[in-house]
Structure 1
Amino acid sequence: MTEQSQREQREAELKRRKVRKGTHSCWECRRRKIRCQFSASNDTVCLPCQARGSACRSQEFADSDARPPAQPDRRMAQRLGRLEELMARLVDRILPETTAKTAPATVTSSSLSNRASPTPSASQDTGTDDGRGYPRTLDVLEAAVGDDTPVGLLLGLRDLSRAAAAANQPVSMPTPESDEAISPRKPATSKWDKTSRALHALFPSQHAINIITKANAGPYFLTSLFSSFRDLIEGKTENANSVSVVPACTSHPTVLARRLLQISICLQQLPPGYDAEPLQLNSTIPKFMENVVSVVSSLVTCIDEMVATAEGLESLVLLGLWHANAGNLRKAWLTYRRAMSLGQLMGIDRGPSRTLKFVDTMVNPRQRHTPEALWYRITACDRLTSLLLGLPAGDPDNSFATEEAMKRDTHMERLEKLHTVIASRIIERNANKSPSEAYAITQSIDCELENAANAMGQDWWAEPDLEVADENGHRLGQMLHLMLQVHHYDLLILLHLPYMLRNPSESRYDYSKATCARSSREVLKRFIPFRNKVTSVWACRHVDYSALVAAMTLLLSYLRQHQDSTTPSPTCPQRSEDRKLVEMVRERMQHVAVINQDRLTHQSADILGQMMPILDSIDASLMNDVSEVNMHLLKCLHLKVPYLGTVNFHPSVIVPAGKMGVCPNAGQEPVRTAAGMPTAFHDGSDFEQLQPQMASLSTSPDGAEVGATSAASFEGGPMQLELGSLDPALLPPDAALNGMFMDFDPQPQDGVLEFPDLMAGADDWIFQGVDTTYWSLLNGNNVAWG
């Protein structure tokens, strides 16, 4: 053997590699991840390499065909280095110094990516993925810790630093396996322990709760309030039985408050005279509810940090519903507006949001209410209350009524959302200063209502039969059906009310008058069976307001002048039917008022009784009875509206010219307004001239400007209607023929308006300003103040 061959043999032996026992495959088969097989034990080339014609080299020797390692990208390496350095500085700045001293956190790109991409684990307050794809949540109202930065906020490091500072223990960046090891909200939970215990003590016994929730359809209504019918069918919301489950005393206060309010709303549905002895409430049902609402309002809903959760928003909506049913519309409006403001801070008006957190750990994340459902319910409640009180809507967003948003909704749900949109448009119309634009908007809204009604089909508008609904679920469906019909007709009345008593020579206003009368009849026909079945005034109070508005509108529609050359028949069948209908409604209101000891329905019945002379005036005028004319027609009707003034009605009559020359009280002084000017009467050619001269704004004792149309002498008392003499000397010769059917007489007291407390309840302010809004609309005054 030559010297050179010996040297090559030694070099080959040095290049041998140590391989794992049992390794027999060659480099080429290893790269291809196939089995290395030999036809004979003494073969030097495996079968796959023979087939490919490649070199078969054992792994004992270095792979001469191996590709050299790729050179790293210097620019990419520099960028990653700078990013890691920046992240390290950021964590050092955010984490507390005490934590850094005890256990400095080592931040790597992998740990940060794990934190930025949370696992779907659920925790009480951190609001992790809830099963619907919503991201982690952040608290929008808690103060920032130290030098918190937007980047740290986005990475979720603030919660981590809080937990470390509170526990004073080492902190390590979470990994997918240990993401739930840290419980950053434990200090916050302990902060509300005292409040939670106080709320938990308010619950009645479990036996009493079971009785309450099974006595009516309240639980079905509450569980469907923030969910669609499709969600109920698919099991994406809690069932009605969940209302009877009492949360643990360690639950978040908003969870306890929500359940207490749900039970209180169920108590509102109980019929009057319900035997409360088995409930063992230690007080009457009204006192129990008032105590619950008072405690919840003082301990939970007034604290921003506490209600800045999904359960907190639900509690605010439920509290507003309770106040609305109790007749406290102004408190309800303020509660809805607060829920809307918090919802906007959380960003739920823009869809899924990181700042919407859930604190109820007992609810399946799949059954949590969506941000879209929460936002729609807040918006719908706000607009309905704002329309009744003559106040602006809180938010113009109508994204919930797009075709995409309503594709899963039923026909009734679509109609309800369209009603919410139309309510906002009516509010905008009422604030419009241009008469021509307002009338054009009215026509446009009327077309929208007609299209919405046609989409439901003719059969749907038949009166629901509440007597055949036995089960709670079926009964609730029938009642919601009826209430949706009532709301539709109510919108039509409020839409056309400003044009009902316009100049009768203008034929374009005849449609508004006919629509108001027809819609009023439909509301009253549904009010009677509804209040026959649901006798508790604390249930669906909105129906009572609608019935009062409809009855007054139907009576006032007869103030219109009969200008036909032929005198109508004194025994007009429609007028006789309307009289019977109003009398039946009045009797039902009186019955409900007696058994509930309710002031609102009692005063509503009194108002209708005092306005019935309007029909008597029409009957007398059509009889051409001179004595009756002198008694009824030459006497106008005076309706005193609290905090507004006196409404003077002039019934439309057909009186021979020779019989109008004498007035019993021709020497009385003209009625004067607050500014000392006589009440104006115009020829009615322009509706703007029909508005009475109102005094300018004056200042109340607290410095706030309010309308001078208030009458301080009423002091919140009920409306009163009086018969008084109408002096023809105050009227122009053709006043009875030109559409001047009504004027206002504001009566301030010593120049200072005694306006009630803005947050006065139904006991101190019965109609809460609904009456003021109604008369302002009827007078054509588009700026209706509450």
Structure 2
Amino acid sequence: MLTIAIALQNPSGEKTDGLSEPPGVLMSRFVAAARTWVTTNDEMHGTVDCLVCIILEGVYEMNSGNLRRAWAVFRRAMSVAQLMGLHRSPMPPLKRIDADLDADPEFLWFRIVYLDRHLSLLLGLPQGTSEKSMAAAAAMRNEPALGRFERHLTVVASRILERNESPFPASQAPATQAIDAELLQVAGSMPASFWRAPDFHRLTPGSPETLLETQRLAAHVYYHGLLIQLHLPFMLRVGDNAVDEYSKITCVNSSREIMSRFIAHRTFNPSSSCSRPVDFFALLAAMTLLLAHLDAHHHRGPTSILAHQRLTDRAMLDQALERMDAIKTRNRDVTTAKSAELIRRLLDIEADAAAGGGSCSAARSAGGSGGDKGPKHGEELRLTIPYLGVIRIGRQGAISRELPADVSAQDRPRTSSQLGTAATEAQALGLASATQSAAPWSGSEMQCPSSTWDNPTLPSMADGVDGVDDWVFQGVDTAFFDGLLRGTAALDAAVGFDASGT
């Protein structure tokens, strides 16, 4: 039933015409039945068959854009697998209901860990296990090149998550450089042909050749997504530090690589729901790229390493927006619709900054989703970021952090950074926005299209959050800002800046 539900997530015209009910109704019914009788049934746990079904449920939720729910499902799969002993070497004897089930327990364990770390990075959540044995020589012996690549990336993802889960002092740069060197070594282990740009010319959706090309594209995106996650905390730090400049260039180049692959894939197949992580990484790449350009406008100098690429980057983002619009129209996809709207707002801000309209500023203040949405002095945009507070974006000034009033003075980190670009990133969220006067990027609070509620494959309000703006991006936005602002806070604390700016 779960396999059929996943297949129905990618409808193909006349192939669904003979169904007795709409695909969405059938999907919901199949998944509900499997969840009730198998994947959440404790009596079924302990069998390889049940574990396979839990993994399929996670894939279904991920394809639906329910990243938080998918993360929870894969965490359940990890718990069940550990109770079965799949994390041990050698593995104990395993129970199977269907003796003919073709499922390799070691590979199942690897895929669970792979997807857990993939989603944990996107959502800013902790990994379920720090095990790194999946890249051992014995595990790699029978793997094809792509399989070895994915196993290496899984180990690197664990190191990035470990870094992110620890306190982030300014001295984290050496650890970041070591992980960067490891990623470079992993990339060099692949044949040159692996790094060719994806080519879907003469391929047809659903063919084995298309599947292989899509897997290669997804591996490229994950690799560059790891680079962005690794270097994001250092991208907007001010100064002439060569390491920080390297981080900025790496983030920009990886963002371009992700966007080009998103465009190629979504031009070929705009209706596929099997590339949700690619879609979310494309959103992060677009925000990262525009933030880098805004940072360059904020710190204007006689030369800019991004000046000659600016128009090309904007054209590429415009092309990505065309693809997002096609997905939105075709699939009634609210996540893609909101992503496109956020990127358009960011593009407007970047164009205004390039024309000399003034730098952007942001301030993070207490408040969560209930923060003040009203306009303040000057032209300002206020955005509520779940768990982080309110980010204010204005046309002039610096980025600073305003902590909650109930935080004691001795616990108050001393931060104040001149990072106008970071504010623009907040604009990319488009959450709970309100503006004053006739700024070219002004807009009203974004609302979810009513058609969303009729599509069961789209994110549900049942993910434990309160409002539309909180659940659409599933926490991907929060994780992005947390990573972006973390490095600047560490630098400011190291040099002794005061939160009040004095």
1:719 to 401, 406, 431: 431
CA distance in 1, matches of 2:106, 2:359: 62
Which residue of structure 1 aligns with residue 26 of structure 2?
A: 288
Which residue of structure 2 aligns with residue 420 of structure 1?
A: 154
1:689 to 395, 415, 419: 415
Which residue of structure 2 aligns with residue 269 of structure 1?
A: 10
**CA displacement, residues 239-262 of structure 1 (integer Å, 9 cap, x when unaligned):** xxxxxxxxxxxxxxxxxxxxx111
Give the partner amino acid of 1:550: A
CA distance in 1, matches of 2:52, 2:467: 24
1:648 to 381, 384, 392: 392
Alpha-carbon distance, 1:474 to partner: 0.9
CA distance in 1, matches of 2:90, 2:99: 19
Which residue of structure 2 aligns with residue 331 of structure 1?
A: 69
CA distance in 2, matches of 1:568, 1:502: 16
CA distance in 2, matches of 1:579, 1:395: 40
Alpha-carbon distance, 1:643 to partner: 5.5
Which residue of structure 1 aligns with residue 172 of structure 2?
A: 438
Give the partner amino acid of 1:648: R
CA contact (8 A) 1:309 1:359 kept: yes
Which residue of structure 2 aligns with residue 767 of structure 1?
A: 473
The equivalences for 1:177-216 within 5 A come to: none
Which residue of structure 1 aligns with residue 492 of structure 2?
A: none
CA distance in 2, matches of 1:587, 1:516: 23
The equivalences for 1:4-83 within 5 A come to: none
Which residue of structure 2 aligns with residue 319 of structure 1?
A: 57
* CA RMSD in angstroms, aligned pairs only: 3.4
What secondary structure does 1:468 align onto?
Answer: coil
Alpha-carbon distance, 1:676 to partner: 7.8
What secondary structure does 1:349 align onto?
Answer: coil
CA distance in 2, matches of 1:460, 1:762: 42
Give the partner amino acid of 2:392: N
CA contact (8 A) 1:325 1:538 kept: yes
Give the partner amino acid of 2:212: G
2:230 corresponds to 1:524: no
Give the partner amino acid of 2:415: Q
CA contact (8 A) 2:168 2:487 kept: no
**CA displacement, residues 286-309 of structure 1 (integer Å, 9 cap, x when unaligned):** 111111111111121111221310
CA distance in 2, matches of 1:319, 1:421: 24
The equivalences for 1:531-546 within 5 A come to: 531-546=266-281
Alpha-carbon distance change, 640 to 591 in structure 1, aligned in 2, over 3 angstroms: farther
Which residue of structure 2 aligns with residue 574 of structure 1?
A: 309
CA contact (8 A) 2:121 2:161 kept: yes
CA distance in 1, matches of 2:465, 2:360: 40
What secondary structure does 2:261 align onto?
Answer: helix
The equivalences for 1:589-628 within 5 A come to: 589-621=324-356, 628=357
**CA displacement, residues 746-781 of structure 1 (integer Å, 9 cap, x when unaligned):** xxxxxxxxxx86546998821111111111111117
Give the partner amino acid of 1:277: D
Which residue of structure 2 aligns with residue 341 of structure 1?
A: 79
CA contact (8 A) 2:360 2:393 kept: no
CA contact (8 A) 1:326 1:762 kept: no
The equivalences for 1:459-470 within 5 A come to: 459-470=193-204
What secondary structure does 1:430 align onto?
Answer: helix
Which residue of structure 1 aligns with residue 224 of structure 2?
A: 489
Alpha-carbon distance change, 297 to 568 in structure 1, aligned in 2, over 3 angstroms: closer
Alpha-carbon distance, 1:597 to partner: 0.5
2:108 to 332, 351, 374: 374
Alpha-carbon distance change, 768 to 612 in structure 1, aligned in 2, over 3 angstroms: same
Q: How many residues align?
A: 433
Alpha-carbon distance change, 617 to 718 in structure 1, aligned in 2, over 3 angstroms: closer
What secondary structure does 1:380 align onto?
Answer: helix
Alpha-carbon distance change, 302 to 435 in structure 1, aligned in 2, over 3 angstroms: same
CA contact (8 A) 2:358 2:395 kept: no
Larger relative contact order (CA 8 Å, sep ≥ 6)? 2
CA contact (8 A) 1:641 1:718 kept: no
CA distance in 2, matches of 1:309, 1:761: 36
Give the partner amino acid of 1:566: P
Alpha-carbon distance, 1:538 to partner: 2.1
CA distance in 2, matches of 1:295, 1:760: 25
Give the partner amino acid of 1:719: L
What secondary structure does 1:780 align onto?
Answer: helix
Alpha-carbon distance change, 688 to 407 in structure 1, aligned in 2, over 3 angstroms: farther
Alpha-carbon distance change, 533 to 561 in structure 1, aligned in 2, over 3 angstroms: closer
CA distance in 2, matches of 1:274, 1:592: 19
2:184 corresponds to 1:450: yes
2:238 corresponds to 1:508: no
Which residue of structure 1 aligns with residue 293 of structure 2?
A: 558
Give the partner amino acid of 2:431: M
CA distance in 1, matches of 2:467, 2:25: 15
What secondary structure does 1:504 align onto?
Answer: coil
Which protein shows a greater Rg? 1
Give the partner amino acid of 2:17: E
State TM-score, norm by structure 1.
0.51
Q: Which has the higher helix share?
A: 2
Which residue of structure 2 aligns with residue 55 of structure 1?
A: none
Alpha-carbon distance, 1:606 to partner: 0.4
CA distance in 2, matches of 1:630, 1:429: 32
Alpha-carbon distance, 1:689 to partner: 2.4
Which residue of structure 2 aligns with residue 408 of structure 1?
A: 142
CA contact (8 A) 2:61 2:70 kept: yes
CA contact (8 A) 1:446 1:492 kept: yes
Give the partner amino acid of 2:244: Y
Alpha-carbon distance, 1:443 to partner: 0.9
Alpha-carbon distance, 1:329 to partner: 1.4
CA contact (8 A) 1:560 1:652 kept: no
Which residue of structure 1 aligns with residue 497 of structure 2?
A: none
What secondary structure does 2:471 align onto?
Answer: coil
Alpha-carbon distance change, 316 to 618 in structure 1, aligned in 2, over 3 angstroms: same
CA contact (8 A) 1:500 1:509 kept: yes
CA distance in 1, matches of 2:401, 2:145: 53
CA distance in 2, matches of 1:274, 1:474: 23
Alpha-carbon distance, 1:522 to partner: 0.6
CA contact (8 A) 1:432 1:438 kept: no
Alpha-carbon distance change, 760 to 286 in structure 1, aligned in 2, over 3 angstroms: farther
**Greater mean alpha carbon deviation, residues 436-445 or residues 308-317:** 436-445
Alpha-carbon distance change, 283 to 643 in structure 1, aligned in 2, over 3 angstroms: farther
Alpha-carbon distance change, 630 to 376 in structure 1, aligned in 2, over 3 angstroms: closer
CA distance in 2, matches of 1:635, 1:613: 14
CA distance in 2, matches of 1:284, 1:593: 19
Which residue of structure 2 aligns with residue 57 of structure 1?
A: none
Give the partner amino acid of 2:473: F
CA contact (8 A) 2:168 2:486 kept: no
Alpha-carbon distance change, 553 to 387 in structure 1, aligned in 2, over 3 angstroms: same
Alpha-carbon distance change, 338 to 491 in structure 1, aligned in 2, over 3 angstroms: same
Which residue of structure 2 aligns with residue 196 of structure 1?
A: none
The equivalences for 1:140-151 within 5 A come to: none
Q: Percent identity?
A: 36
Alpha-carbon distance change, 545 to 671 in structure 1, aligned in 2, over 3 angstroms: closer
CA distance in 2, matches of 1:644, 1:361: 50
**CA displacement, residues 629-671 of structure 1 (integer Å, 9 cap, x when unaligned):** 5999985554443564333346799xxxxxxxxxxxxxxxx99
State TM-score, norm by structure 2.
0.78
What secondary structure does 2:392 align onto?
Answer: strand
